[in-house]
Structure 1
Amino acid sequence: MASERYHRQLILEGFGATAQSKLTAAKVLVIGAGGLGCPALQYLTAAGIGLIGIADDDTVALSNLHRQILYTTNDIGKPKAKVAAQRLHTMNPEIQFVVHTLRIESINILEILKDYDVVLDGSDNFESRYLINDACALLKKPLIFAAVADYEGQLAIFNVTDEKGETTNYRDLFPIAPKPGEIANCADNGVIGVLPGIIGTMAASETIKLITGLGKPLVNKLLHYNLLNNEQHELAIIAGNDYQLPQNEADLMTFNYNQTGLTEPMVIEIDATALNNLQQKTSTLLIDVRELHEVPALDKAIYHQIPMSSFADFLSTDVEEQNLVLICQHGIRSVAAAEALAEKYGNTKNIYSLKGGIVKWRNYFSN
């Protein structure tokens, strides 16, 4: 039965029963069952990875479906990791699935990672990427890194020694995490559905190559892919010395992976009720920091649109209002903008950010 299922790869020159047995014995953890994770999970399952872990604490949303093709409209509101495991099991019942319906954090990551041979990072935020990288480096776990932004994708393999005896990690590319709002994610900038499909499938391919020893995996190399013109190129990753990795579990537990780099927020995050109360006050300025093309468009008579791309110009001016409320799509860029205002005005003004942004309170803005 198994030989028939995998027949087309078993008969490949250079693959055969030896490579298939390596896949069967492998334990792979996929973190993030979203746009990148879905295609990676499908092809890893189809290829015959013996045990696959799926880690995701999110639920299926309608806006996911154009790229997260494991899910259907009937799955909206259900846990992604559970739905993915159920659907993948029907695809290949020979595979063992382990579901982690939780957020990967410093308090649990080492315990989760220890049982896997390879980790595939399909997360969508920098906080998770740095945490996953540091934990994999500490445990010496091979890490497949995949990411998409706009019309471009990136792929690399970390924590594997190359033919020169060198090993690199994500911090050799980006030693320090960017601040909120500096680099927008696909939730803010958008993404065409096929792009994470392409990069996620390539991530599965690199995972299979790494496990079986086929070809030349992207060890210490960054592959950059442009969807618009189909250009791709590789960059060599060189080990750096301008950062420090956690040396033990205690280091990892005490390291601050908050994207703001702060233990306490500089601004107050509010909900829609508090926003409504502030809106009734005459001395309140409501600021939408999204770019001009983003939807839904808000009433410009109520919300002043000052995009992050031109926010520096706004900072050079002074405002009279006592209460300043920053709003964006997901409540990330608004925090960054609010912090910039707090740095300028200190305690002389009340500065707020709408927590969760327009997406979380869409009903409020649709009234």
Structure 2
Amino acid sequence: MITQAIILGAVQAAIYREDDSWRAVRLGPSGKGIIDCTRSLALLMESRAEQRALTEPLSNLAELETHLRGWSRKHRALTLLIAGMDDQLSFDTRRTCLEAAEELLLWDTGAHGFARARLLGCPASEDADITGGYLLSEEIGARTAAGFYRELRAAEVQIPAVRRILDEILFFAPGSEFNPEAARRAIIDAGVVADAVLVLTHKAGPVSLWQLVENYSEDPSLGAEVRNPRFVLRPFMSRIHELMVRELMERKSSMDWIESRFSKDPILFEGFSASRVMLKKYKSEAMGGIMSRERSALDETNPPETSREISDLMYPYAEVEASPPSKPRFYNFHRETA
């Protein structure tokens, strides 16, 4: 009987306790069988690789091997997708990583969900070449990986703000009776943060956020770390909705400025008969990023000295103000369901 077990999926190893002694195993070459590596026990215990303790005792090593293989595949898929965004690697190496990742993601649903939850639940590094990974995935026909990168490109600005909200709730919530670090990992791995980020990105509205509360409140992985997941999910979604309203107000303010600018300076419309059409055009540019056209014009005027390999990415991190400019009436996520 294995009474305790700790999985280190990133290094394909596990530590377990059997008959009052600690031992260690790792996956064999090419993933065939397991090999005893107890002599490396101290090294594994001090390893900085992510450790995951199993909550239930195991009957034998075969059960431990099943858990080890599952978590090793999840971490391998994530590592391969991250390598696909590493512009320090050659294109051939990145292409090989993406091909291997695509194969894993297609037949292992657990690896698919884990990789998506981590990519959209954790801020990408500042030098991550997301666009390059997307283009390479499209080139080799890795549609699943390309879909991940497409979502990440659309949502990367929102991820740091959402993660900051989650950390504030978990680490500073009064009266909490859970391990905040374990709860954060459980919430991210369940896909809560990823789904909240996409709702915020696409401005799906408070109903979608409330539906996430309902969907994840009964998730067993959350219940194992947080006694009452609603205690965390409700304020988390409320804060996401506040951020959503604040962003919409800021965009509306930009549109109002454009409209007032043209109304006060009609000379800007000289030579144009369809002034309303032009105003609508500039409003649309404000919603999608009014500075993009100016940046393109600047690039044409002052071309860079060296060519850009794939893209010239910027990684703006969303700043959350201490208080919004005004106080709209936010959606109440703390109501009880009928």
TM-score normalised according to structure 2 size: 0.28
Larger Rg: 2
Larger helix percent: 2
Larger strand percent: 1
TM-score normalised according to structure 1 size: 0.27
